Amino acid sequence: MKDLIVAGNGPSLKNIDYQRLPRDYEVFRCNQFYLEDKYYLGKDVKIAFFNQSFFLEQIYTAKTLIKNKEYKIGNFVCSNFKLHSIYENHLNFIKYFDIFFPDANLGSNFLEKLKEFNAYICYNELYEDKRITSGIYMCAVAVALGHKRIYLSGIDFYEGDIDFSTGKNVYVYNANKQNYNKLIGENKIPFYFHSKDTDLKALEFLAKTYDISFFSLNPESILAKNFGLAPVDNNSFILLKKTQNTLDDILIPKETPFIKLYYNKVLQTKSPSQLEIKKRNKINIFPNVKNNFNQRSAKERIQNHLCYKLGNILIDLRNLSDYIKLPFVLSYVVYRHLKDQRRYKKRIKQSPSLKLPPLEFYRDYKEALKIKRTLAYNLGSNLIKHPFTFLFKIKKIKKEWKE
């Protein structure tokens, strides 16, 4: 069996030491790998792995890539987990998978061949709320297929000089694309259940349990320190740049009757044509606070607290007219906030992976806590605690805060 390269989409792909590539190998890629500006590991992909949520769009995109001769892709695998089939939409996806995707495979079928590892990751998600990332998922499938020597790159654990608020250096490619943002969201922060520790321990489990040799293709990577650097093999790999007319966004197929059926019956969700990149209020009463749930920083998350929203309105009270309008404005903001909360809860019930991470997972967490000490937050907090007597305390609270 050939050696295998498992490549994530991290920025370390730009720093592969190509002399360390094996002479004869196959490649596994995942998710939006096709957005890279160069063919960092060539055009031949043995298996392309795509997440369940956007599998239909990804398959359509991948087959377009093949048709355009941008990539050669041998097989498609859905990176699903059997445990998630307890959710109705996930169960429907598995039930109708072979009907909609006859030339693809469910990754969970491969994971079940690794009895010990499957039990290991199931335990971690069930009891610890921890889940492996796509890079480690590909490694597990590779082991199930019989690969013993696996070379790694682009699995960076979201570390280094990156900026989650803009998406800079989160991936090797530019993720700020129209369809990408519509389907996957503008939030580039990894889900809270992913972590470097979880992934490294999973790789160590695979290596020890199944006698697997992992090698890093990046001398400065964390993987090189934990598993060793690939030996120099003097590979003559030629790095090719992509042309300007290559595909640069995930594709959304037109809504045929069966595709509409797929969204309604299988996923039980809105079709892409019904999605918006950003939700905007029709009545712009409070333009400085976002009422959506794609916040990209801890600062935005705290600014979305009801305390902060209400407090900012109270700060701007200037005259008798403002006080007369106040009950109506406050009622509207509370109504919008509660509506967004219900919408968010409904979203994560349908797709638990959309749950926002704890605030402390954000890089600006400590800086964001300062917002809770602002006058606006203090005023809003007091209004919620003392709604009937608050108006008589505004001047006193403002005076005490200034002192």
User: Catalytic site residues?
Assistant: 131, 158, 171, 194
**DSSP 3-state of 156:** coil
With beta carbons less than 8 A apart as the criterion, state whether 134 and 8 touch: yes
**DSSP 3-state of 3:** strand
Q: Which of 245, 244, 185 is nearest to 64 (CA)?
A: 245
Measured between its terminal Cα atoms, the distance across the chain in Å is: 74
Whole-angstrom Cα distance, residue 148 to residue 132?
20
Give pairs for 192-197: CB < 8 Å, separation 24+: 192/355, 192/356, 192/357, 192/358, 192/361, 193/125, 193/129, 193/130, 193/131, 194/130, 194/131, 194/132, 194/133, 194/158, 195/130, 195/157, 196/157, 196/158, 196/159, 196/222
Whole-angstrom Cα distance, residue 55 to residue 183?
11
What is the CA 349 to chain-centroid distance, rounded?
17
| Residue at token pair 């043995």 | 46
How is residue 341 written in tokens?
A: 């909360």
Whole-angstrom Cα distance, residue 243 to residue 42?
14
- How is 194-234 classified by DSSP, letter by letter? --HHHHHHHHHHHHHHHT-EEEES-TTSHHHHHH-BPPP--
Residue 81 main-chain phi, psi, to 5 deg: -125, 135
Whole-angstrom Cα distance, residue 143 to residue 212?
8
With beta carbons less than 8 A apart as the criterion, state whether 89 and 78 touch: no
Please state whether beta strands 240-241 and 38-39 pair in parallel, antiparallel, or not at all (unpaired): antiparallel
Whole-angstrom Cα distance, residue 169 to residue 167?
6
> Which residues are bridge partners to 106 per DSSP?
78
